[in-house]
Amino acid sequence: MSLHEKSIAEIVAALDSKKFSCRELVSHHLDRITEANGYLNAYITVDREKALTQADAMDKARASGNAPILAGIPIAHKDIFCTKDIKTSAGSRMLDNFIAPYDATIVSKLKAAGTISLGKTNMDEFAMGSSNENSYYGPVTNPWRKDYIPGGSSGGSAAAVAARLCVAATGTDTGGSIRQPAAMCGITGIKPTYGRISRWGMIAYASSLDQAGPLTRSAEDAAILLEVMSGFDPKDSTSLNRQVPLFTQSLNNSLKGLKIGFCKEHFGKGLSSDIENAIDIAIKQFESAGASIQEIELPSSKFAIPAYYVIAPAEASANLSRYDGVRFGHRCENPVDLADMYRRSRSEGFGKEVKQRIMVGSFALSAGYYDAYYRKAQQIRRLIKNDFLAAFESVDLIIGPTTPSTAFKIGEKSDDQIEMYLQDIYTITSNLAGLPAASIPIGFSKGLPIGLQIIGNYYDEASILNLAHQYQQETNWHKMSPTAFSLEGIQPSIKP
């Protein structure tokens, strides 16, 4: 098996038995990035020298018997996490010159576990987007089909994992930005319960919705990383002060007696028939393993899109007010006065989508409109949470589509804002409620991956990962990789 096709557990075992070194593993992935990134545009920054230096350090640690648990595993970080002495841009011209002076908590946790960062992945600007077309550095290409989007905003991370340009990657999920690209790239992605992973050092979009999580090839890999990434952080006021479960120890629990719900409203108009058929097949797989399936109701979910696109822009307008050209970030040339510097620096630094959301958010929070829009959206948010609480009284997990369709062509929906926002129609509810949710691959439609969403009750990531792992023990969808990227060398035909 090629080095880039191994799981985290397989890599750790191979490194332990000295079948290859950390340096060989990291060099292999760096060479693949050099070959493929011109095509995919998945990475914004690659630090080869630092990665190899860290690999040598992990080889020494292994030789001395003092290696941390994930010593030598090559990963990538979404370019929304501060990484010390490396550019952290959030996919924006506004931060194109920003070198982070510290590591985000998630970065430091993974570094302490021995992982090696290959670089920073491309993303929609300030995580605002569902297609990864809103990046200052250009769109990311889906590894499965040229000229198709990988999903967003964590599209660079998803594409890098799917194309085997890293073993795993970090992402953030505000309205589906881990799960949606995971579905469109044919990999596994999980957004844990809000507060499970520290947000300290993660550039904020919408603070009450943002949550970090791993993008991996399998549920087992996700469980391994989630154990490392999770935990209380006193530097984050929203961090959960709860013991982190050993997610890997519950991956082989029986599904007998498990109650799984599905929302009938999620199946029908707007959903691709191929996706619905793939979910029906997955349901039969769950039933054959002993789980029971029952219909549930989430009546307030139909209001999720309008509520989200009031709350998220409102929080974004406040969070992004700090980017004014004064202390850091882009500053316009030769401003006439302070007001001119503010106006031009923000106009030049922010892209179109970010400007639109700032304006919507500022309007929703303005005097005379706060009660009509923002307060009403928060009331809807509470109704959505109540729907889930009621549903979880009768079921353990909820399944459904991750996206209404598979990946679409780059530029296809750029002029249709509503159609673009509807790509998150099935994922937004769990962010509004703060629930854990994952997407796993369950098939293909016309050569493009299909994702299944699994939503769990609060703090119950273990049940989500167990169901996903049990399914992946019986299927091979998660093991499939794009042909052009599955070989030892990237196929020349895909190079630009």
Catalytic annotation, residues? 78, 153, 177
* Residue 388: partners with Cβ closer than 8 Å, 6 or more residues away: 298, 398, 429, 430, 433, 435, 455, 457
Q: How far apart are CA 122 and CA 92, in angstroms?
A: 10
Whether residue 347 is preceded by a cis peptide bond, meaning omega within 30 degrees of 0, is no
Phi, psi of 401 (to 5 degrees): -70, 150
Cα separation, 434 vs 193, in Å, equals 6
Whole-number Å distance between alpha carbons of 276 and 175: 22
Which residue is listed with tokens 């595993």? 73
Query: At which residue do the structure tokens 């854990």 appear?
Result: 436
Phi, psi values for residue 168, rounded to 5°: -160, 170
Report phi then psi at 296, rounded to 5.
Answer: -125, 170
Alpha helices in 215-291 (DSSP H): 219-229, 273-288
Contact 455, 395 (CB under 8 A): no
Contact 260, 292 (CB under 8 A): yes
Length of the chain: 496
Where are the extended beta strands (E) located within 56-187? 74-78, 116-121, 168-173
How far apart CA 454 and CA 190 sit, in angstroms, is: 9
Beta strands at 43-46 and 116-121: parallel, antiparallel or unpaired: antiparallel
Q: What residues pair up with 438 in beta bridges, in sequence order? A: 190, 454
Structure tokens at 59: 């080889």
Say which residues have a Cβ less than 8 Å from residue 379's Cβ, sequence separation at least 6: none
CA 134 to centroid of chain Cα atoms: 16
Name every residue whose Cβ is closer than 8 Å to that of residue 359 and which is 6 or more positions away in sequence: 317
